[in-house]
Structure 1
Amino acid sequence: MATLTDIGLSAAINIITVFIFLIAFAILRLQPFNDRVYFPKWYLKGLRSSPATSGAFVSKFINLDYRSYIRFLNWMPDALKMPEPELIDHAGLDSAVYLRIYLLGLKIFIPVLFLTWAILVPVNWTNKWLELTHATYSEIDKLSISNIPQGSHRFYTHVVMAYAVTFWTCFALKKEYETVANMRLHFLQSEKRRPDQFTVLVKNVPPDAHESVSEAVEHFFLVNHPDHYLTHQVVLNANKLSKLVEEKKSKRNWLDYYQNKYERNQSKRPLMKTGFLGLWGEKVDAIQHHISEIERLSNEIAEEKENVKNNPKAIMPAAFVSFKTRWAAAVCAQTQQVRNPTLWLTEWAPEPRDVYWQNLPIPYVSLTVRRLVIAVAFFFLTFFFIIPITFVQSLANIEGIEKAVPFLKPIIEVKTIKSFIQGFLPGIALKIFLILLPTILMMMSKFEGFLSISHLERRSASRYYLFNFVNVFLGSVIAGTVLEQLNTFLKQSVNKIPETIGVAIPMKATFFITYIMVDGWSGTAGEILRLKPLIIYHLKNFFLVKTEKDREEAMDPGSIGFNTGEPQIQFYFLIGLIYAVVTPLLIPFILVFFGLAYVVYRHQIINVYNQEYESSAAFWPDVHGRIVAALMISQLLLMGLLSTKEAATSTPFLLALPILTIGFHMYCKGRFEPAFVRYPLQEAMMKDTLERVREPNLNLKGYLQNAYVPPIFKEADSESDDDDNDIDDDGDDKTREKDNVLVPTKRQSRKNTPAPSKMSIINVYNQEYESSAAFWPDVHGRIVAALMISQLLLMGLLSTKEAATSTPFLLALPILTIGFHMYCKGRFEPAFVRYPLQEAMMKDTLERVREPNLNLKGYLQNAYVPPIFKEADSDSDDDDNDIDDDDDDKTREKDNVLVPTKRQSRKNTPAPSKMSVGS
């Protein structure tokens, strides 16, 4: 069991490591030859150039100005000076909101630190329970809830603190959710024009025997969105072309390397072997060999490009469809298009930088199978990773090590070595084991078929968080062998699990302290040093760089890495909320992480990271949800812990906390989450109107024409712009601008169209209303519920009959029934809650043809007048038409005129922002 001495040694090692990293960074960043490594963002923006090369030869590589070394730590205040609006303009909303996660951690845990240290630490420390029971303990345990006697009334203090922590955390979360939602809406309203604002991604286009995919898409949107459709770009399967282009890039890099080598020593031509990795095979001239390979690949790329354009099998049943206005795109993206909810699926298109082009060709029907396969694979990955976690925990158990390797006992018992093993080694070992995990999880997400990089990162982050909870937290808390851990959970009732985990939590506080210092302190400081990009840049600069463009490509600015960074932050929220009431000693270590990480990552976002995409902070609901989940886990585990302390009078008061937390989460989900999943039509209309006023002659079609052309086509033939405009199966340029004309189609008459029904239904009863059978989903759901109840009761009955061999076969029935219900819910329920736009357009068109002179306003004038008004004065029809404050009959029929209003000028309306928010 680690003591305060062990923790002190670990803290000293990590603090020294942090200072070494920070000082090394402060010195390396001042050197001219490292400028592109530590300030690549400014180079990519064109706002920074290479340091002056005049003067002494040494000064080209080493900074000889001694005054700059005196101010070598000025990067810290510089990172904090840039105001948030300027940061959004410089790096985007995603980066600015990501930093707010660290600030949220500080906002939550600083008050919690003062509360717990002022109240709980004295309450825990002033007891003698651990001394009286003669238990094995350390000074750290005396500061925790473990030092409170069984059944003590002092547990009421911990219950009150649990309420205080919950209420404060919820308050901070609510304020932050509201702030970020407003920031997102303001950013969307004020940002520059982008292609994704006008574009939706249409998936699962149904096959048509008479039309190509491009023609079918054009026909569908000209018919159902006649006034708003602008153009489209079908999705092409260019994965083979992408591989050829990447291979050509690799060959060109090798060609540059050998040409540079020859220029340095022209007395000898460079040679290479043509076999595997150049280890064997025929020796040839390296330069000529790569030139011929590049020519061969260029021919293959040209052939494959033509094949992709002309081969129907390369055209996928999906398309990017662009509209004339943001309002029209919002309507299309947020509505159901046809009766069958699995066809013509629409969603907001990711911005072009965010599209993960390799996944676009994946058939829609295979996505469910892929995700099921990955769910099973993730389960086994999580389970089998318990093996290395158990090994890490064994390092913290000195007795276990001495028992396994008794000949090392004299060395292990040396005080310094023993402190090192218990205080530092477990944290660094766990960090090493987790290095490959993000790559594995990202590969899983890609296999699932998500279509945007942001969605891939969010999916990978959610799995990483779940993995951390199961393996790093639960696997570390419940120490023992893999089989012992599995046996613990399988051979006890579900309501005993919080109790089992709760008992072990105080004993593992020292392990998490060491993990926070290694991963949170040293790991964060190591991030700013950028050792790996530094080495790679100088290797490329020496062997491959010939021009300034080559030097720019050698830079590796990287990005925030949401899929790895956010789960790490969430894990510290989890640990902090769990131990806030149990062992408050952890809180200062977590606060050091949040403070250090905020400064470091703010510097990196300003000077280094070049964000790959902009999702307008679409990830915040995930951040909020995980913190709420951590809060609920902390409450359940505290209940489990108190139940083992015989605190029967105080524990029941905690039952309300999870219920209140769920209610808070549901409120936030309903109040703020829509801002992250839908785009308000009012906002879209306002932005469209302003743009029409400011740019009346904007050629929007020209702006959007090639926005969603796969980048690989541009790379494959960057010298031929004309080819890029022609890859849409000759369909994009055929958009008709004429209004009120029949849309040409190649379809034949559909003989299988059902004729109108001749059966008339006679009602005996006089039905008060007509809901169009809206009740059927309830009927279906209750029958499915009855079916599941029968299955569960049958399992219960058979279990009393000692039918151990036959009962397990029933376990699959509830799972299959739930799967059937989910299928029916997705396939048929939309018909009861949404009205397809195609149906509405067909009905409107027929009505205009049959009744061209219909006075629709007169028909609707009094449709929703309260019946009591009609009854009160049934003799006066005029009065019924005049109850809407004399305004109903003033509706203007004119088009394109300003709408009169009685509103006064709003003095509190914010002035247009002078800040130019970039994407």
Structure 2
Amino acid sequence: MSDSSTSSDSSVSQFLAALIPTAVIAAVFILLFIAIRKKQKRVYEPRSIIETVPKDLQTESTPTGLFSWAPHVLKKSESYLIQQAGIDGYFFIRFLLEFGLICILGCFITWPILFPVNATNSNGQKGFNAISYSNVNNKWRFLAHIFVSWIFFGSVLFLIYREIVYYTTFRHAVQTTPLYDSLLSSRTLLLTEIPESLYEEETLRSYFPPAKTIWYARDYKKLEKDVKERTKLAGKYEGAANKVIIKAVKMRNKAIKKKKPTPEPADEIDKYLKDGKKRPTHRLKFLIGKKVDTLNYGVERLGELNTSIKEQQENFKENKQVPSVFIEFPTQLDLQLAYQAVPFNKDLKGVRRFSGLAPSDIIWENLPLTKKSRWAKKVVANTVLTLMIIFWAIPVAVVGAISNINFLTDKVHFLRFIDNMPAKLMGIITGLLPVVALAILMSLVPPFIKKMGKVAGCITIQEVNGFCQAWFFAFQVVHSFLVVTVTSAAASSVTSIISKPGTALQLLSSNLPKASNFYLAFFCLQGLTIPSGLLLQIVPLILSQVFSRLASTPRAKWNVWYKIGSPDWSTTYPAYQLLAVIGLCYAIIAPLVLGFAGIAFLVIYLAYIYTLVYVLQPNPVDARGRNYPRGLLQLFVGLYLAEVCLTAMFVFGKNWVSVALEALTIPVTVAVHLYLKWKYLPLWETVPISAIRYAAGNKSLEYPMHDQGYKEIKTEGTNYWEGGNELGAYQDQDVTIQGGASERANESGPESKVAGSDESDKHSPFDKASELEGGKTAAVGQVVAVPGKGVSWLTKFFKPKSETFDIVRAKMPACYFNYIEYNDEFVKTAYADPSVTDEEPHIWIVKDNLGLSDIEMNRAIEGGVDVSNSNTEFNEKGSATYTGPPPSYEEALKV
């Protein structure tokens, strides 16, 4: 059998081996989803039934029809998606849609031209290889590939540009809404690696006179250690106390049912534990630590820790200062003026600045790091990850070789038994097995990268997520694409290369496109199993059944019902960025891949809309969609690989005219990449001052759409040190620049609250956006309603800046036009280290009719430990359950 014949058989069998089982699995998953969707609302519509979901995130129930949920979610407006999926979720959905459409557009660009060019007067390839680059035998025909690549790659560059323009406008628009303008995080500045001269508050205030509250970071190692021990011990004590009470009640019920003697006295716990011989114990250190009685030691040690921690918390200002400080400003405008000015002061050179950070976003243990120590830790972390990428190539290369293992049997004799395998089994081994193995290998990487991100000295969870997104994307590209592609192509050529070493480059050139057959199988797996798996939620479905039975304590049962998962964008984005990279790289070499990629993106898009609206809650770490432009810029890697790979293949074939023409695309792509980074990176963490004033009601100003604030930011930053930082410098403008939100926050009552939906920014020309039935967005106020009229979607697409600040801001959901008001007591300690404000643990045990919980509760309270059995009981089946929330339960406050 000839190589071409074998190749054709292999390509078709690989595809069918991946398509058939994955299609069957996907069909089963979707049918199960349809069948049980309404019966398992806790799994498939938790946000419509769980009371603790914030009101603005609660969703209505989906229609009852078998497939009616699909058009129902597809009809939702952008405003609805922004609110329900969160800004991060909205931009991820947009990422899937945009690249699904660009792949479909790529099919219209490439297929009519390249399929005929590849298939006619060719090398006689069969199967999928007949319409790929490898089937061309006339070098002048490659001119078609070059001109098509110019059009397609140019389209991708334009798409990235327009989406970055849109994101920039969106980011500025959302930051000027009353909700985000009034957030404490929007007016709090974090400076790290500050000089010792700024350790004095008076000196610091001379740089930033408008500053209100200042929180200096301090060394709390001893306090943090004690808090960590207390938290761990509290969980252990609560579990042990509940366990013995539940055991006692069940033992007594069982004895009564069988009419056997019951332990007496009924309110003495040791009588149910073999006179105390079976009391719960644990070791203070793993394996080698002293064994202690959990109940007695728990009360004693928790009491000691409560006293010690309280004393340390009261005297926290005695701890040593570290080079980091949080500064609260009266308004977002004051914050932005200061933030934009920091790089233009010679005394603050080298100081890192952050804004938009909630306290829960801070990695507190990394605040004490100096510039040198952070640099050293970053070098170590990056070195470790680089070495990991290199050595991880070994197992991944094995996976890639398996996809073409049938080509190795001629020279590797002990593998010849594979030739005797049935064709279907061979297809599974070479098609499905490598895909599954690769997915398992890559799932092990993200947790380690995140750990390295903290080791590298990242200050925030957002920074760790960005670190993870970048490195995991690198892992994906290197191992899920480059190593697999090269090893697959090399494996399919190894026999001929050994026979004729001089033809290695030509053989790799002709066989590299054949590696696309692996990615056809890959896209089948991604496009069928991922969306069906997302809809079925098989793991949460199983765990919900298992945990609901395994959960025995009131708190465990509360968590099973009321805790809803959130997406992790740092690991989700790279998986789909990889799909985009593969599509870009094979767009010209094997255009068929684009069709599979486009369908996969669009089907996954549908599944994610449903999942993000009805199943998952927005991630509590609000990055304002920052993963999206990061992902767009990282996709330049795909363009570089596509252009370099195509150029290299022309080099292998010694087609120098084609090399020269295709190489022109590389410097153009580099120039666009550098321009976008230079122009837009400074804009994503800042908000133009004119945009804040315009949104606050100053009609003499407008949003700087021409450059989106690039020049203005530099001007404002320079002016700040020439009198712009003086107190009262801006108080005569814009009726305190949305100060209504900030001032009311400081005059709020004893509890934090969100203003009612009827309250809008009285100083804003954008009165309010409202959500109407059917998912349409209406604007209450002429200024919001007018801008979108007369601007067609075609104009907005090809002229990104025609989608103005007004149009984008009109998309914002109604809840973004409410203010958040904070209690003064909350603000005083908002950015103190969590160990300083950590409350005594509230132990929650189940109430029984024997009095055991009351005895344990009173004993613990006497020892200085807060224990409660409120809102708990044993149900008719004798199981511990809850009747209300845990003690001291509070809804999370958006900061």
TM norm. shorter chain > 0.5: yes
Counterpart of 1:226? 209
What do the CA deviations read for 1:393-421 (whole angstroms, capped 9, x no partner)? Answer: 23221254797684882785212111111
> Structure 2: how far apart are the matches of 1:299 and 1:37?
45
Name which of 92, 111, 134 aligns with 1:98: 92
Residue 256 of structure 1, aligned match among 242, 247, 250:
242
Q: Is the 8 A contact 1:502 1:638 kept in 2?
A: no
Larger CA deviation: 593-602 vs 225-234: 225-234
Of 659-668 and 414-423, the range deviating more from structure 2? 659-668
For the 8 Å contact 1:621–1:673, the answer to whether it is kept is no
CA–CA distance in structure 2, aligned partners of residues 79 and 289 of structure 1: 51
Could you tell me how far 1:668 is from its partner in structure 2?
3.0
Residues in 2 aligned to 1:626 and 1:498: alpha-carbon distance in whole angstroms: 29
Query: Structure 1 stretches of 5 or more lacking a match?
Result: 52-66, 132-136, 486-495, 721-917
Take 2:247 and 2:623, find their aligned partners in 1: how far apart are those partners?
44
Which segment is superposed worse, 37-46 or 194-203? 37-46
State the shift of 1:503 in Å.
Answer: 5.5
> Matched residues in 1 for 2:531 and 2:407: separation?
32
Q: 1: CA distance between counterparts of 2:288 and 2:342?
A: 60
> How far apart, CA to CA, are the structure 2 residues paired with 1:504 and 1:466?
25
Shift of 1:363: 4.4
Instruction: Tell me which of 62, 76, 80 is aligned to 2:74.
Output: 80
Tell me, in whole angstroms, the C-alpha distance in 2 between the residues paired with 1:501 and 1:245: 61
SS at match of 2:530: helix
1:306 is aligned to 2:311 = yes
Partner residue of 2:738 out of 691, 699, 710: 691
Q: Provide the C-alpha distance between the structure 2 equivalents of 1:695 and 1:481, rounded to a whole number of angstroms.
A: 62
Which residue, out of 517, 540, 552, partners 1:533?
540
User: How far has the Cα of 1:615 moved from its partner?
Assistant: 1.7
1:175-190 matched pairs, under 5 angstroms: 175-190=162-177
Q: 2:528 is matched with which residue?
A: 521
- Are 2:57 and 2:83, in contact at CA under 8 Å, matched by a contact in 1? no
Aligned to 2:465: 457
Q: What is the CA–CA distance in structure 1 between the aligned matches of 2:319 and 2:558, rounded to whole Å?
A: 40
How far, CA to CA, are the matches of 2:664 and 2:471 in structure 1? 29
> How far is 1:608 from its partner?
2.3
Deviation at 1:454, TM superposition (A): 1.6
Aligned to 1:428: 436
Identical-pair percentage = 19
Residue 294 and residue 363 in structure 1: after superposition, are their counterparts in 2 closer, same or farther (change >3 A)? farther
Structure-2 change in CA distance of 1:257 and 1:591 (3 Å): farther
Q: Trace 1:388-787 onto structure 2 (pairs within 5 A).
A: 388-396=395-403, 397-400=405-408, 406=414, 409=417, 412-479=420-487, 505-544=512-551, 547=554, 550-552=557-559, 555-610=562-617, 611-686=619-694, 687=696, 689-693=736-740, 698-699=745-746, 702=824, 704-717=827-840
The question of 1:115 aligning with 2:102 is answered no
Cα contact 1:196–1:348 (8 A) shared by 2: yes
Aligned match for 2:39, one of 18, 31, 36: 31
Paired residues of 2:47 and 2:57 also in contact (CA < 8 A) = no
Taking a change above 3 Å as real, the CA distance of residues 421 and 364 of structure 1, as seen in their structure-2 partners, is same
> What SS is found at the alignment partner of 2:20?
helix
Residue 108 (structure 1) shift: 1.0
* Residues 1:127 and 2:121 are matched in the alignment: yes
Q: Residue 595 and residue 349 in structure 1: after superposition, are their counterparts in 2 closer, same or farther (change >3 A)?
A: closer
Judged with a 3 Å threshold, the aligned counterparts in structure 2 of structure 1 residues 36 and 585 are, in CA distance, closer, same or farther, namely: closer
Structure 1 Cα separation of the partners of residues 56 and 351 of structure 2: 47
Native 8 Å contact 2:342 2:348 kept in 1: yes
Retained in 2: the 8 A contact 1:394–1:401?
no
Residues 343-398 of structure 1 show CA distances to partners (whole Å, capped at 9, x for unaligned) of 65433251233223343344443111111111111111011111111221232212
1:17 maps to 2:25: yes
Moved more, 99-108 or 469-478: 469-478
Q: Is residue 334–residue 347 contact of structure 1 (8 Å, CA) maintained in 2?
A: no
Question: Deviation per CA, 1:715-753, whole angstroms, max 9, x where unpaired?
Answer: 433789xxxxxxxxxxxxxxxxxxxxxxxxxxxxxxxxx
Indicate the residue corresponding to 2:341 in structure 1: 335
The letter for the 1-side match of 2:118 is N
**For residues 51-90 of structure 1, what are the structure 2 equivalents within 5 Å?**
71-90=65-84
> What is the deviation of 1:476?
1.1
Distance 2:627 2:605 in 1: 18
Question: Amino acid of the residue matched to residue 527 of structure 1?
Answer: L
Code of the residue aligned with 2:229 in structure 1: it is L
Tell me if 1:162 matches 2:149. Answer: yes
2:186 to 177, 197, 206: 197
Q: Aligned to 2:215, what secondary structure does the other structure show? A: strand
User: Counterparts of 1:501 and 1:450 in 2: how far apart (Å)?
Assistant: 42
* CA distance in structure 2 between the partners assigned to 1:715 and 1:424 by the alignment: 50
Aligned residues: 681
Q: 1:388 to 1:244 in 2, by over 3 A?
A: same
Give the direction of change, closer, same or farther, for the CA distance of 1:367–1:49 in structure 2 (3 Å limit).
closer
Q: Which residue of 2 is the match for residue 894 of structure 1?
A: none
Task: Indicate how the Cα distance of structure 1 residues 409 and 348 shifts in structure 2: closer, same or farther if over 3 A, else same.
Answer: same
Residue by residue, what CA displacement relative to the aligned partner does 1:599-620 show, whole Å, maximum 9, x if unpaired?
1111121122221221212233
Range 705-714 or range 588-597, more displaced = 705-714
- Cα contact 2:11–2:128 (8 A) shared by 1: yes
Q: Which 5+ residue runs of structure 2 have no aligned equivalent?
A: 1-6, 256-262, 264-271, 494-502, 697-733, 748-822, 844-893
Report the Cα distance in structure 1 between the residues aligned to 2:204 and 2:595, rounded to whole angstroms: 59
Mark the CA change 1:504 to 1:49 in structure 2 (over 3 Å): closer, same or farther: closer
CA contact (8 A) 1:159 1:651 kept: no
Look up the equivalent residue of 2:465 and give its one-letter code: E
User: Could you give the per-residue CA deviations for residues 33-91 of structure 1, whole angstroms, max 9, x where no partner exists?
Assistant: x515752576242569999xxxxxxxxxxxxxxx9997243332233232111221233
Query: 1:691-721 deviations in whole A, cap 9, x for unaligned?
Result: 335776551792632322344555433789x
Q: Spell out, residue by residue over 1:241-263, the C-alpha distance to the aligned partner (whole angstroms, 9 max, x if none).
A: 44224303531245434434443
Q: CA deviation at 1:592?
A: 2.3
* C-alpha distance 415-502 of structure 1, shift in aligned 2 (>3 A): closer
Distance across 2 between alignment mates of 1:73 and 1:479: 43
Q: Residues 85, 258 of structure 1: CA spacing in aligned structure 2 closer, same or farther, 3 A cutoff?
A: farther
Matches of 2:167 and 2:546 in 1, distance apart? 42
Contact 1:330 1:679 in 2 (8 A): yes
Please report how far the alpha carbon of residue 314 of structure 1 lies from its aligned counterpart in structure 2 after TM superposition.
5.7
User: Residue deviations 1:769-803, cap 9 Å, x none?
Assistant: xxxxxxxxxxxxxxxxxxxxxxxxxxxxxxxxxxx
Distance 1:589 1:373 in 2: 40
Change (3 A) 1:273 1:630: same
Superimposed CA distance per residue, residues 817-867 of structure 1 (whole angstroms, 9 cap, x where no aligned partner)? xxxxxxxxxxxxxxxxxxxxxxxxxxxxxxxxxxxxxxxxxxxxxxxxxxx
* Alignment partner, residue 802 of structure 2: none
1:289 aligns with 2:320: no
Structure 2: how far apart are the matches of 1:685 and 1:291?
Answer: 61
| Mapped partners of 2:616, 2:173: distance in 1 | 24
- The 1:467–1:40 alpha-carbon spacing in structure 2 relative to 1, beyond 3 Å, is same
SS at match of 2:487: coil
Q: Is contact 1:457–1:562 with CA below 8 Å preserved after alignment?
A: yes
Q: Distance in 2 between matches of 1:280 and 1:649?
A: 71
Name the amino acid aligned to 1:716: E
CA distance in 1 between counterparts of 2:435 and 2:504 reads 26
In structure 2, how many angstroms separate the alpha carbons of the residues matched to 1:550 and 1:294? 24
